[in-house]
Structure 1
Amino acid sequence: MSEFDNTIDIIFGRWKSQILYAGAKIGIFDYLTEAPKDLHQIAQDLNLNETMAYRILRSIATLGYAKEEKDTHRFSSTSLGNLLKKDHPQTLQGVLLLEEGPEHYQIWKHLPRMIKDGQQNAFSSEYGVNIFEYAGANTEYSKVFNDAMSSYSAMHTAMVLEALNDYDFSGVSHICEIGGGQGHLSSHLHSKYVHLNGTILELGAVVKNQESSWPNKMGLQDRCKYIEGNMFDHVPPADLYMMKMILHDWSDNECIQILSNIHKSAPDKAKIFIVEHLVPDPSVPHFSKLFDIHMMCATTGRERTIDEYKSILSQSGWQLIHTHYPKSKMIGVIEAIKKG
C-alpha cells in the first residue's frame, strides 16, 4: 500500500468501524450463518428496511465481515464476521459496541482542546461524571461496558498466562486480584494452579451480581471468593496482588495512593503483578501509544513506560524486579516486591 493509500485508509477508518458498529447494533452478525440467507428474509427477521439493509450488508461484505453471493442478494457469515458474534469464544462484539458507541464516540471531539489546555478526561467534560460513575448510573451503558471488559479480559488472560507460563507459583498460596471484574484472570489462574486460593476485591455492585462471574461458571467459588471493598480505602492481605488494566485508568498520584494502600496491607516479601500495555522505546510502533490517547479522553490515566511504573512503585514502597511478556509483547506483566 502506498503512502497516499495508507493515509486515505486511516482518514476513512472511522467509516469502517462505524459500519461494523451498526451491523452489530442491529443484529446482523448474530443473525448470519455459513448458509447464505436471502436479503428479504434478513430484513424481515431483523425488522429492517430492505433497501437500507442491502446497502449496509454490501458495505460489511466489502470489509470482509460478510459474504455476498453474486446476483442473488444473499449473504452469509465469514470468519471475520464470526468474531463479532456475541457467543464467539473470542468475541469482540462488546469491544466494538463500547468503543464505537455514542458515549465513547463523543469524547474524542475534546482531543484538540485537551492537548492545548492540558486538562484530560474528556468523559467527565462531556457527561459531568467520570466513566465509572456514569456506568453505575446508566444500566444500558453499564451492560455494554461490562461486555466489553469481558472481551478484553479474555484476550488479556491468554496473554498473561503465556507471559507467566514458566513462573514458579509454588511459594504463593493466596492471590488477591484488585478490580478483577468478572474474575476471568483469577479463575483461569486458579484452574491452572490448583494449590492457589484467592480473593477478588471489587465494588459492591459487582460483588452482589456474581451469577455470571467466572468463579461461578468454573466451579471455583470455594477457592476464589469476592470481597467488597475499594482499593482507594483498604485491601485485604495476600501473598501476591494482581492488577490487570487498572492503573492505566488513574493519574500518577492516584496510582501512588492505590499502591500505598496495598503496601499497608501486604505482608513482608509480598509481591504485586501489574498487567498493562507498556510503552516501548520511541522507535517501536505499539498499540499502547494509541491506547494512551483513548485513556486521555476517557480517564485521568495514561499508558506508561517501564521506568514510569518503576517510579510510582518506588514512591509507594515497592521495588520492580522483573517484567514478563507474551510473545506478542502486546502487554507486559510487571513484577514488584514489597520493600522493607
Structure 2
Amino acid sequence: MATRTEAQEKQSAGSAQANPFQAIVMMAGGVVLPRCLHAAADLGVADALGEEEQKTSDQLAASVGAHPDALFRVLRVLSSNGIFEMTGRKVRHSPASRLLRSDHPHSLRSLARMFGLPGCWNAFNEFGYSVRTGIPAGTKTLPKGLWRYFQENPEAGRIFNEAMVGKAQVQVPAVVGAYDFSRFGTVADIGGGRGHLLQAALEANRSVHGVLFDLPNVIQDAGAVASDRLKLQAGDFFKDALPAADVYTIMEVIHDWPDEESVAIFKAIRKAAKPGATLLVIEQLIPEDKAPHWAKMLDIHMLTLLGGKQRTEEEYGELLRRSGFALERVHPTRSDVSIIEAKAA
C-alpha cells in the first residue's frame, strides 16, 4: 500500500501550524477527497486513460459514462493531491494514479473501491456512537456484521477479495524478503486466508513445509493450493486446536480484534506451540511519534467497522507477554507491515 513519506508528514504538520484555519476547513470538508477517489476508481478512469500520453477530461468522461464538467472537477481535486496530472483539461498519469489501473501488478483500484463501499462508508455516519461507547458503529449500520455483508453482497465481496489480493501482492514479497524462513521445518499460517503468504514462503524455501489454518469455508475456497508440502486444516482459532509447527505466522488478523480476543488467539497459538517456538505477528504498527501516519487512520477504521485496533510495538509486547510469549525484535519490511518476532516462553 502507498504510504506518505516522513517529509510529507512533517510538511503536513507544519502546514497545520502555519495556517490553522486552512487546516480545519480542509479537514472538516475533506470528505470530498476520498469520495472523488472512490468515484474515479469505480468509473475506471485510470483504465480509460491507459498508457496514452494524455487525454482530455471530456474524452475520459465519454469513455467512462460520466458528465464532462463533473469529471473535470473531480480530476482537478485528485490531481491537486498527486493522483493524475492535469494541464488545463488534459490529463495524464501520475505514479499514484497508475496504481488505480486494474492491470497494474500492484493495483490498488479495488482497495480504493472497498473503502467507498456502502457497508464500509455508511458506518461513519454513526461514528459518534463509536467515540462515545468504544463499540463499532458497524453494529448499528450492519447488524449482521461486516463479514456477513460481504457474503450477502457478491459484488462487494468480490471487490473486498480483490483488494486483499492487491495488498498481498505488495506485502507478501516484502515479508518473505525480510525474514529467513529456511531454518524452520514447518510453518503454520493462522488465519492465512487463501495461502498467499504461506505459498510464497514455501516457494522461497524449498525445504520448508506448511500448514494453512482458517475457517472451513475459507479452507474450502483455498483447496487448490494444497500440495505435498502445504497441508490444509480447517477450524476456528477460538474453539479448535491449532497445528503443531516450528514457526507460526499470523498476518493482519490481530488488528481485527479487541485486546481480550487478541490475547485469546495468542494463547491458542501458545497452547499448540512447543517452548521456544517462534511466532511472527505481521501487522502495520503505529509509530510512537506524533506525525500523521496511515496506521493511525487505519486504527479508526478498525474502531468503526470491527472493534479492532492498530497497535504500537509496546502494546503488542504486552499482549504477547500476557499470552506466554516474549517479544524479541521487530523486523521492518519494504512495505507498510512489520514482522513482530516473539518466542514461546
* Both proteins in one fold, TM over 0.5: yes
Q: Deviations over 1:158-202 (max 9, x none)?
A: 4423542xx4x3431111111122322222222222211112212
Amino acid in the other structure paired with 1:204 = P
Q: How does 1:186-225 map to 2 (within 5 A)?
A: 186-210=198-222, 215=225, 221-225=227-231
Instruction: Give the equivalent residue in structure 1 for 2:234.
Output: 228
Q: Deviations over 1:224-249 (max 9, x none)?
A: 34332222222221111101111111
Q: Given that residues 24 and 30 in structure 1 are in contact (C-alpha distance below 8 angstroms), is that contact kept between their aligned partners in structure 2?
A: no
The 3 A distance-change label for structure 1 pair 67 and 317 is: closer
Amino acid in the other structure paired with 2:282 = V
Q: Does 1:179 align with 2:191?
A: yes
Distance 1:53 1:138 in 2: 28
Q: Given that residues 23 and 60 in structure 1 are in contact (C-alpha distance below 8 angstroms), is that contact kept between their aligned partners in structure 2?
A: no
The 3 A distance-change label for structure 1 pair 159 and 12 is: farther
Q: Deviations over 1:129-163 (max 9, x none)?
A: 22223223322221122122222223332442354
Report the alpha carbon displacement of residue 67 of structure 1 after superposing the two structures with TM. Answer: 4.3
The 3 A distance-change label for structure 1 pair 266 and 12 is: same
Distance 1:80 1:59 in 2: 14
Q: 3-state DSSP class of the match of 1:88?
A: coil
Report the alpha carbon displacement of residue 296 of structure 1 after superposing the two structures with TM. Answer: 0.7
Distance 2:36 2:118 in 1: 14
Report the alpha carbon displacement of residue 97 of structure 1 after superposing the two structures with TM. Answer: 0.8
The 3 A distance-change label for structure 1 pair 308 and 57 is: closer
Q: How does 1:1-340 map to 2 (within 5 A)?
A: 1=15, 2-4=18-20, 5-35=22-52, 36-37=54-55, 42-68=60-86, 70=88, 75-116=91-132, 118-164=133-179, 167=180, 169-210=181-222, 215=225, 221-234=227-240, 235-281=242-288, 283=290, 285-326=292-333, 330-339=336-345
Report the alpha carbon displacement of residue 87 of structure 1 after superposing the two structures with TM. Answer: 1.8
Distance 1:282 1:55 in 2: 36
Distance 2:229 2:244 in 1: 16
Q: Given that residues 129 and 135 in structure 2 are in contact (C-alpha distance below 8 angstroms), is that contact kept between their aligned partners in structure 1?
A: no
Amino acid in the other structure paired with 1:65 = I
The 3 A distance-change label for structure 1 pair 194 and 7 is: farther
Q: Deviations over 1:19-73 (max 9, x none)?
A: 1110111121122123234656544443334454444445444444334565xx5
Distance 1:138 1:147 in 2: 14
Q: Given that residues 119 and 149 in structure 2 are in contact (C-alpha distance below 8 angstroms), is that contact kept between their aligned partners in structure 1?
A: no
Q: Deviations over 1:74-110 (max 9, x none)?
A: 5443332111112211211122111122222211233
Distance 1:292 1:174 in 2: 32
Report the alpha carbon displacement of residue 207 of structure 1 after superposing the two structures with TM. Answer: 2.4
Distance 1:54 1:327 in 2: 35
The 3 A distance-change label for structure 1 pair 63 and 313 is: closer
The 3 A distance-change label for structure 1 pair 231 and 69 is: same
Give the TM-score taking structure 1 as reference length.
0.84
The 3 A distance-change label for structure 1 pair 7 and 90 is: farther
Count of paired positions = 326
Distance 2:90 2:329 in 1: 54
Amino acid in the other structure paired with 1:264 = K
Amino acid in the other structure paired with 2:344 = K
Distance 2:76 2:318 in 1: 51
The 3 A distance-change label for structure 1 pair 40 and 13 is: closer
Amino acid in the other structure paired with 1:250 = W
Between the aligned residues of both structures, percent identity stands at: 27
Distance 2:213 2:344 in 1: 19
